[in-house]
Amino acid sequence: MKPLAERLRPTTLDEYIGQRHLVGQGAILRTMIDSGRIASLILWGPPGVGKTTLAKIIANTLDQPFYTLSAVSSGVKDVREVIDNARKNRFFSSASPILFIDEIHRFSKSQQDSLLAAVETGDVVLIGATTENPSFEVIRPLLSRCQVYTLKSLTEDDLHTLTQRALKEDVVLKERDIRVEETDALFRFSGGDARKLLNILDLVTSIGDERAPLVITNSLVTERLQENPLAYDKDGEMHYDIISAFIKSIRGSDPDAAIYWLARMIEGGEDPKFIARRLVISAAEDIGLANPNALLLANAAFDAVAKIGWPEGRIPLAEATVYLATSPKSNSAYLAIDEALAEVRKSGNAPVPLHLRNAPTALMKEQGYGVNYIYPHDFPNHFAPQQYLPDTLQNLRFWHPADNGAEQKVADRQAFLWGRRVNKES
């Protein structure tokens, strides 16, 4: 018998759970589907939120031929064969066939290039699904021809609706006496992933006497998942859990744990560029100014992995992982930019002080642009105090040095130049 997740896969938008911002009444994708015309698009979101299901529903609703490829197992030849078949089987008056590509972020540049002409001419309508930011992994010419729609993890209400549907409508479960007494563990382990939730339900309800009543509790779910740690994650959906543990181990200065989680990702077939990107982010976010060389090393590891791939790529990744985990930590730059962004959103477009403005024309000079600007290099220590923030914000401070040797040295120099500057509210 098919798994519960397959038995319960929706076939219409009315059965589809979640993503109301896209497919709810009046939402953008719902409007396009109801109009009978759909443009090429990319569905971006975490695993188990309905990307593949939504693509199939679109094809079924519009009654268009549907072709599917997996970026994991398909090459350029496969792409061209599917496009040729789509062209041959399309009648002049019929709508373009839909080509669905799962995990499109894993397609190489040449594979993506092979799609361009067919998408541009309308021989196919492309629907791509990805768990990765398309701006990083999809080539710009293809991205410019597609709309990107972001799918979100299912909410607790969505998960509750899905659980009740499974128990009441599934051909197997509806015949049994099953009661859900507690949902905290069920929803926590699901992590907003519909497929994971249904796999957990499948596991929990498949053990024991099917004729006996079953009460689902937090302790029951936890116990059964501990006994079968991979049963609800057959397709590697711990992707986000493991990368989270990896980054938090680096942040927590535990090189042994970080290397362990790195090994888990490598052994699980994770994309090396995905790991390398997270190392670059960690170097900037968590090590930051405490050790600026960390960002250089992480970038070097990213470049090395892109050039050499597996299996040797594990070595620069391990080197960067240990270096970042054992490095002093600071998030002062991360906090500074977020604080500055919050201020910009609050105070709007504060005017640039006149002395900081460029004056390329005579009229601008007459209006005082650039007047009284002090050129720091003309003074001792290449510094002269003057106002750089807008008038209404001049007393604000966004960067607050952390308590590590590198930043304290910088803080001492700033104090020497500026004296003690006190942060005031705007």
- Which of 317, 327, 315, 322 shows the shortest CA–CA distance to 256? 322
**pLDDT over 70 (residue 151):** yes
Contact call for residues 221 and 185 (beta carbons, < 8 A): yes
Is the per-residue pLDDT at 362 higher than 80?
no
Paired strand residues for 41 = 127, 147
Under DSSP, is residue 245 helix (H, G, I), strand (E, B) or coil? helix
Q: With cut-offs at 50, 70 and 90, classify the pLDDT of residue 247.
A: very high
Show contacts of 185-188: CB within 8 Å, 24+ apart.
185/217, 185/218, 185/219, 185/221, 185/222, 186/159, 186/216, 186/218, 186/221, 187/156, 187/159, 187/160
User: Rounded distance, CA 395 to CA 114, Å?
Assistant: 55
Question: Which pLDDT value is given to residue 300?
Answer: 95
In the DSSP assignment, the letter for residue 371 is T
* Contacts of 348 by beta carbon, 8 Å cutoff, 6+ apart: none
pLDDT at residue number 239: 62
Q: Crossing angle for the helix pair 194-206 and 218-227, nearest 10 degrees?
A: 90
Q: Which two tokens stand for residue 25?
A: 């009444």
Burial (CB count within 10 angstroms: exposed 0-12, middle 13-18, buried 19+), residue 89: exposed
Residue 200 to residue 184: CA distance in whole angstroms:
13
CB atoms within 10 A of CB 245: 17
DSSP state at residue 92: T
Quote the tokens at residue 268: 């699980």
Looking at residue 421, what is its pLDDT? 58
This prediction's pTM: 0.57
> What is the identity of the amino acid at 83?
I
Give yes or no for a cis peptide into 311 (omega within 30° of 0): yes
Mean pLDDT for 376-384 is 87
**Residue 5 in contact with residue 199, Cβ under 8 Å?**
yes
Measure the CA–CA gap between 89 and 79, rounded to whole angstroms: 16
Angstrom distance (rounded) from CA 134 to CA 333: 26
Q: Which two tokens stand for residue 34?
A: 């109801």
Q: Give the 3-state secondary structure of residue 101.
A: strand
Provide Rg for the chain, Cα atoms.
27
pLDDT band at 129; cut points 50, 70, 90: very high
Nearest to 45 by CA among 37, 55, 35: 55
pLDDT at 369 over 50: yes
Once rounded to an integer, what is the mean pLDDT over residues 221-230? 70
Task: Write out the two tokens for 257.
Answer: 């744990």
Do residues 354 and 369 touch, judged by C-beta distance below 8 A?
yes
Q: Which among 13, 43, 45 is positioned nearest to 26, based on CA atoms?
A: 13
DSSP per-residue letters across 30-91: HHHHHHT----EEEE--TTSSHHHHHHHHHHHHT--EEEEETTT--HHHHHHHHHHHHHT--
Q: Where residue 238 falls among pLDDT bands split at 50, 70, 90?
A: low
Q: DSSP character for 422?
A: -
pLDDT in tens, 23-37: 998 899 999 998 888
Average pLDDT, the chain: 85
Helix (H, G, I), strand (E, B) or coil at 99: strand
pLDDT reported for residue 413? 84
